Amino acid sequence: MGFVTIAVLSVLMGVTWSQSVTIGPEVASADRSTHPNAILQMQKQAVIFEQQAIVVEKEAVEDVMATGKLNPSHYPAQRAAKVVQHYLNTRYGSPYRLFGLHQVHSGHAEDVADSGRKYQLEISVQEFIRNITEKCSAEVLFQRGEKLNSPEVQVSCEELLKINTKAQEDTLYQQYKMSQSLSAQHLPDSHGNIEPDMEPFWHLGIVAASFVMLNESTENTLYNVAQVANVTQLETENEQLKFDYTILLHDIVSQEILHWKLLFTWSPSEGVKVLQMEQLPRCHCEKPPGTP
């Protein structure tokens, strides 16, 4: 049986920013030699654009999945581990707390009767804003059936969840509850820059996008956030800050850029609550050179 090898560029915050993907006129590739200042700025905020070469091998026949012990760097283990990242962000992420997959140490897959396929994982998860990493155990169940539900996730990452961001979140909440004037585009911009006061809203977009990525994840997918195309703050309702976002997701398998419109609320006490999510017409964007 033949294999297809896909080269994936992963960003260490779990956000893929493929340096050769053309997303559109406002999003150019981020080249280290061309934009060193932009890269340094991103490093300061723990949004680090580094090439982490992950060689992903998948069987040419997609419906034949690996069972037993998994190669940690190969596609089956990586896609299951990325689901854990999305799960953590939907439950515990905030403008000042953001989780990403740092490394897969080991993985094991098995069929579970008629319910689906279960993955047992040992991974390292990183909280990127403070650059704290913890080794965690996780279980991911991809369900079978005509109606595909979100993967079921159980994960133990006790230390990362103790990070206290209440003071920062309260300050941000009070500031924008009073002004209700946020409007921004292209986070990051075409050179990888984000204004410091916009960084929390880039992080908030990643957290909100995790709801989409978790909901859409299957054993045949691998998603990351490419950019917040635009964000608008709406009138506050029920003490929650309300936002309208358009987010670009990178579908690593197809190399497509997917546009999603999200309507959600956020507050320090309630976290992110997604009210609506809608996939917009597909963007037939240029693939990286050498991509099959």
Reading the chain (292 residues) residue by residue, the pLDDT tens digits are: 444 333 333 333 444 333 333 344 344 333 333 333 333 333 333 333 333 333 343 333 333 467 899 999 998 999 999 999 999 999 999 999 999 999 999 999 999 987 899 999 999 999 999 999 999 999 999 988 777 789 999 999 999 999 999 999 999 999 999 887 899 999 999 888 999 999 999 999 999 999 999 999 999 999 999 999 999 999 987 899 999 999 999 999 889 999 999 999 999 999 999 999 999 986 455 544 444 4
Report yes or no: 31 and 19 within 8 Å, Cβ to Cβ: yes
Rg of the chain over CA atoms, in angstroms? 19
| Class of domain 166-279 (CATH, top level) | alpha beta
Rounded CA separation 161/93 (Å): 10
Which residues pair with residue 59 across a beta bridge? 3
- Sequence-ordered list of residues with C-beta below 8 angstroms from that of 275, at least 6 positions apart, any chain: 263, 264, 265
Q: How many CA atoms, within 13 angstroms, populate the side-chain half-sphere of residue 117?
A: 20
Cα→Cα distances 286→51, 165, 189, 222, Å: 20, 39, 18, 18
Q: Which residue has the tokens 């992110």?
A: 272
Q: Residue 138, exposed/middle/buried by CB under 10 A (0-12, 13-18, 19+)?
A: buried
